[in-house]
Structure 1
């Protein structure tokens, strides 16, 4: 399916406005109810569907006064679990047209998007006459929108329209939307804040490098690859891995304490066993010091690895960013915090990051992690796979 769309630029990022028939949107999208999985991790960003409400909306849909002028918010290229769809054939893609700011969105005929806001409006069409599925709906479409921002949009939009249960808003949004003090921020909130600081600070090694934009595009005019580098999701998750073993548990604890008779509590109420490696900085609200460590590390990564990488290099992709955060944890654990990380990054500069050995499928992240840890002395040769050794010997290109 191909639809025309208008590109809109706002501070959060770019998105597209288009019209999609209700039946088509039901076929290619899903919603994700907020829930905890078996490991205690929060999944999803929506309230459960209310059948009574769906039937009431369906009656409105079948009436002569039916009108839904406000947008359905869609996170395209997001799977049912909230992860980014990586397989190119399963992704929404963007094609340029001859009209400024008007593009064609090419949409695969399968579930490849999440409804951020408007799930009741959309699902009510399943309770209405089948002919109603031909009705066109206004849609605002974000491509590759990370989980924290899906939750952010849902919480703030619904906070202005229909009040969301405060505990749910806290879990989804990551912090008190009513101007929460910085020293009470959850790990997710701090990670989002630092990610945005990296993106918008002109002195940052990641200045204007973190974009809410398609991961893949054959149209260089649409995605400026000289400016784009990594996804917001990869950066947020990487930072959180340095400061919390269980971000949801931390967030729940902070929310519980804020709602108690004792009033606001800072991060110091949280447990601190120095795991993960930079948790002590998070607990003591030394956010500037945390940012400084990351800044020094990524300056080394940028000048030694990223500036010399080819466009298809795995070190520029999500799995590469994830492994780089793992490597930073290992460096700090073994060598402590450094003024410069050039010594360590230089040890992994000659890896062939463009090799098919690190394909996105087939355990590419695990392979990359083993090889970088070996080069940095964190594991021994006997910890490598035979294929890793062949790769390092240049037998596998």
Structure 2
């Protein structure tokens, strides 16, 4: 006679209501949890041709074998404990919740629940070898959670606690179903670094990890510099679009006067939902930089600061002065117009070194001052 196979996992659960939605908190046996969970790798389709370009972005960090081994030893200690909850997301297809008796039933199947936080603890418990003692874990469960919200939960937890790359946090906003400044920044960064012919082609490290020596600017640095001209409260903007994502006519109010001088790309962001216009302005500006100093901009040399964080941030500070000098807020400034700004600047290719411009804030301020003074803006 064949042994009876477990079909479901049933356990007591509390229903918890929060602004992001409802979650359920309960306790599950570690072996059951290991069976039903997986760490998500999200597949994206990119590109504008008929070919499918796949990009894989980890909602969880890569599993660290050393960390798994350390936890594997720890869980077999006599006083092992994990007081913090594992956070998972699962489809309602596999879950039934009975509110009357607060019982949850989950199908006992492989890889049906996505781990948002706790994959190393789950992996470490694979090495738990005490059959006489139960090892349960506190589990927070989200049902039918949108991918954007999964990303926000992940990034909020890990940005505060585990120093996850800011570029990873920025990249996660790409999954948003609603509009946000963060998503705009990510999309423009990815478009400019992926498009051949772009002055920023292959220069931005997506997820903060360089795939080549030419990738000298982090995605986080790019997005922060760009959003400085789009929004003063990116979370409030994101919240507005998320709350009104089903209203096609919902629109943030335009900015005017001094605020428009400060956030001169904001009205374009509000009106132009595909962000092509902002990307074109950035393209044209850095095309002018590339034409002025081709070697310093294109070559990744140790002593060259122009195409690294120091140079890029200084150039983005100067970008505001250059754009506003034409008195055409809302328009696309052409390549030739930006080129005319740089014609009066006397800095040579060899001037962009770490002796003249120290890496960091002092170097940024010094380079910005030279650009502004020599240009006459």
TM-score scaled by length of structure 1: 0.50
- Counterpart CA distance in 2 for 1:344 and 1:357 is 22
Matched, 1:253 2:240: yes
Report what 1:21 is aligned to.
67
- Which residue, 286, 292, 301 being the options, matches 2:280? 292
* Aligned-pair CA distance for 1:317: 1.0
- Counterpart CA distance in 2 for 1:266 and 1:237 is 28
Report what 2:191 is aligned to.
197
Matched, 1:11 2:68: no
- Counterpart CA distance in 1 for 2:321 and 2:263 is 11
- Counterpart CA distance in 1 for 2:286 and 2:234 is 23
Is 333-342 or 297-306 further displaced after alignment? 333-342
Unmatched 5+ stretches in structure 1: 1-8, 27-48, 55-68, 71-116, 133-157, 217-222, 379-397
**Aligned ranges 1:305-316 → 2 under 5 Å:** 305-309=293-297, 311-312=301-302, 313-316=304-307
User: 1:165/1:204 Cα in 2 relative to 1: closer, same or farther (>3 Å)?
Assistant: closer
* Aligned-pair CA distance for 1:302: 1.6
Q: In the comparison of the two structures, how many residue pairs are matched?
A: 247
* Aligned-pair CA distance for 1:196: 1.6
Query: C-alpha deviations, 1:346-386, integer Å up to 9, x for none?
Result: 415427111324232563322322232222334xxxxxxxx
* Aligned-pair CA distance for 1:265: 4.1
Matched, 1:268 2:251: yes
* Aligned-pair CA distance for 1:229: 4.1
User: 1:361/1:169 Cα in 2 relative to 1: closer, same or farther (>3 Å)?
Assistant: same
* Aligned-pair CA distance for 1:250: 0.8
- The answer to whether the 8 Å contact 1:201/1:207 transfers is yes
Matched, 1:238 2:225: yes
**Aligned ranges 1:10-89 → 2 under 5 Å:** 11-12=55-56, 19-22=65-68, 51=84, 53=86
- Which residue, 316, 320, 336 being the options, matches 2:327? 336
User: 1:240/1:19 Cα in 2 relative to 1: closer, same or farther (>3 Å)?
Assistant: same
User: CA RMSD for the aligned pairs?
Assistant: 4.4
Report what 2:314 is aligned to.
323
Report what 2:292 is aligned to.
304
User: 1:23/1:272 Cα in 2 relative to 1: closer, same or farther (>3 Å)?
Assistant: farther
Unmatched 5+ stretches in structure 2: 1-52, 73-81, 88-109, 131-139, 156-171
Higher strand residue share: 2
TM-score scaled by length of structure 2: 0.52
Report what 2:359 is aligned to.
360
Report what 1:369 is aligned to.
368
- The answer to whether the 8 Å contact 1:267/1:285 transfers is no
Query: C-alpha deviations, 1:61-100, integer Å up to 9, x for none?
Result: xxxxxxxx99xxxxxxxxxxxxxxxxxxxxxxxxxxxxxx
- The answer to whether the 8 Å contact 1:13/1:212 transfers is no
- The answer to whether the 8 Å contact 1:306/1:315 transfers is no
Report what 1:78 is aligned to.
none
- The answer to whether the 8 Å contact 2:254/2:267 transfers is no
Task: Describe the SS at the equivalent of 1:301.
Answer: helix
Greater C-alpha Rg: 2
Report what 2:8 is aligned to.
none
- The answer to whether the 8 Å contact 2:357/2:367 transfers is yes
- Counterpart CA distance in 2 for 1:229 and 1:319 is 10
- Which residue, 215, 224, 227 being the options, matches 1:228? 215
Task: Describe the SS at the equivalent of 2:202.
Answer: coil
- Counterpart CA distance in 1 for 2:294 and 2:197 is 17
Task: Describe the SS at the equivalent of 2:65.
Answer: strand
